[in-house]
């Protein structure tokens, strides 16, 4: 009969190996940078309060240590992999940059959010409906500031109206308007969804295409 301690030890080893394998699969074998970033972010988050006090800009009270270390790891990932796209082979530089991102997590997370909004605005300024659809899917209205949401929605509405005003919109254009309207409704861009439904109605696209856009009350809510 197997000793309970040996069995527990074997289970722990097996579990740890599975976790490592899952992380390796997720990061395509690039596991060590993942641990470097997490460790540096955790340490940076833990030191963030002291760092801000030394810099003369103390953090507002209210965040627990668990919150700070968690946000520190998030900021380390955002800073190294998205904002800076750091070289993950230079482990020492990666560690200290991730540490700095973790210590400055309020600024890093704020910058990352602003960067997402900027990219979304730039995408919706395009008059390509496929590009706008992708931008909406990646940036729900609830995740961005009201000003940015309104500007994005104005761009989407303008694109739909322009597509609908063509002398003879083809079936592909009607399909793109319908899909853009559905995605807009699902992600909280109500004015754009309403415009899409109205445009499809004017184009005699058929009840099925219009119903696909206005199938829920979301598309009829007034934009605040």
Q: Which domain does 9 fall in, by range?
A: 4-111
CA angle 196, 198, 202 (to 5 degrees): 115
| Confidence grade of residue 90 (pLDDT, cut at 50, 70, 90) | confident
- Residue 220 DSSP class: G
Shared domain check, 215 and 150: yes
Shared domain check, 35 and 77: yes
Specify if 99 maps to a domain. yes
Name the domain boundary from 111, 135, 163.
111
Shared domain check, 132 and 93: no
Q: Is the pLDDT of residue 99 over 90?
A: yes
Radius of gyration of the chain (CA): 24
Shared domain check, 94 and 9: yes
**Which of 135, 173, 177, 165 lies closest to 152 in space, CA to CA?**
135
End-to-end alpha carbon distance in the chain: 68
Contact 180/133 with Cβ under 8 angstroms?
A: yes
Contact 208/220 with Cβ under 8 angstroms?
A: no
Provide the mean pLDDT of the chain.
78
Total domains present in the chain? 2
Specify if 80 maps to a domain. yes
Shared domain check, 90 and 157: no
User: What distance in Å separates the CA atoms of residue 207 and residue 18, rounded to the nearest whole number?
Assistant: 51
Looking at residue 155, its pLDDT comes to 87
Specify if 120 maps to a domain. no
User: What distance in Å separates the CA atoms of residue 123 and residue 45, rounded to the nearest whole number?
Assistant: 33
Shared domain check, 143 and 107: no
Specify if 118 maps to a domain. no
More confident residue, 210 or 195: 195
Shared domain check, 148 and 89: no
Contact 188/139 with Cβ under 8 angstroms?
A: no
- Is the pTM of the predicted complex or chain greater than 0.75? no
User: What distance in Å separates the CA atoms of residue 110 and residue 4, rounded to the nearest whole number?
Assistant: 49
Contact 41/76 with Cβ under 8 angstroms?
A: yes
Q: Is the pLDDT of residue 70 over 60?
A: yes
Contact 141/185 with Cβ under 8 angstroms?
A: no
User: What distance in Å separates the CA atoms of residue 2 and residue 54, rounded to the nearest whole number?
Assistant: 56
Specify if 28 maps to a domain. yes
Name the domain boundary from 78, 111, 144.
111
In this predicted model, what pLDDT tens digit does every residue of 125-152 receive, in sequence order? 666 888 888 888 888 888 888 888 888 8
Shared domain check, 208 and 154: yes
Shared domain check, 148 and 190: yes
Shared domain check, 11 and 85: yes
Specify if 116 maps to a domain. no
User: What distance in Å separates the CA atoms of residue 160 and residue 169, rounded to the nearest whole number?
Assistant: 11
């Amino acid at each position: 009969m197997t000793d309970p301690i040996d069995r527990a030890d074997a289970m722990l080893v097996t579990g740890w190996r599975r976790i490592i394998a899952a992380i390796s699969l997720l990061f395509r074998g690039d596991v060590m940078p993942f641990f470097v970033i997490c460790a540096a972010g955790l340490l940076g988050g833990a030191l963030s309060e002291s760092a801000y006090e030394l810099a003369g800009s103390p953090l507002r009270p209210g965040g627990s240590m668990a919150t700070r270390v968690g946000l520190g790891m998030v900021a380390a990932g955002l800073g190294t992999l998205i904002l800076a796209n750091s070289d993950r082979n230079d482990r020492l530089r990666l560690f200290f940059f991730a540490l700095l991102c973790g210590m400055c997590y309020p600024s890093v997370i704020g910058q990352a959010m602003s960067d997402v909004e900027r990219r979304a605005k730039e995408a919706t300024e395009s008059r390509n409906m496929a590009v706008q659809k992708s931008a909406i899917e990646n940036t729900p209205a609830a995740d961005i500031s009201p000003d940015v949401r309104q500007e994005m929605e104005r761009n989407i509405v303008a694109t739909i109206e322009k597509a609908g005003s063509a002398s003879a919109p083809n079936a592909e254009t009607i399909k793109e308007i319908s899909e853009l309207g559905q995605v807009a409704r699902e992600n909280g861009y109500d004015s754009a969804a309403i415009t899409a439904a109205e445009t499809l109605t004017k184009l005699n696209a058929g009840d099925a295409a219009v119903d696909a856009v206005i199938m829920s009350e979301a598309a009829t809510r007034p934009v605040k």
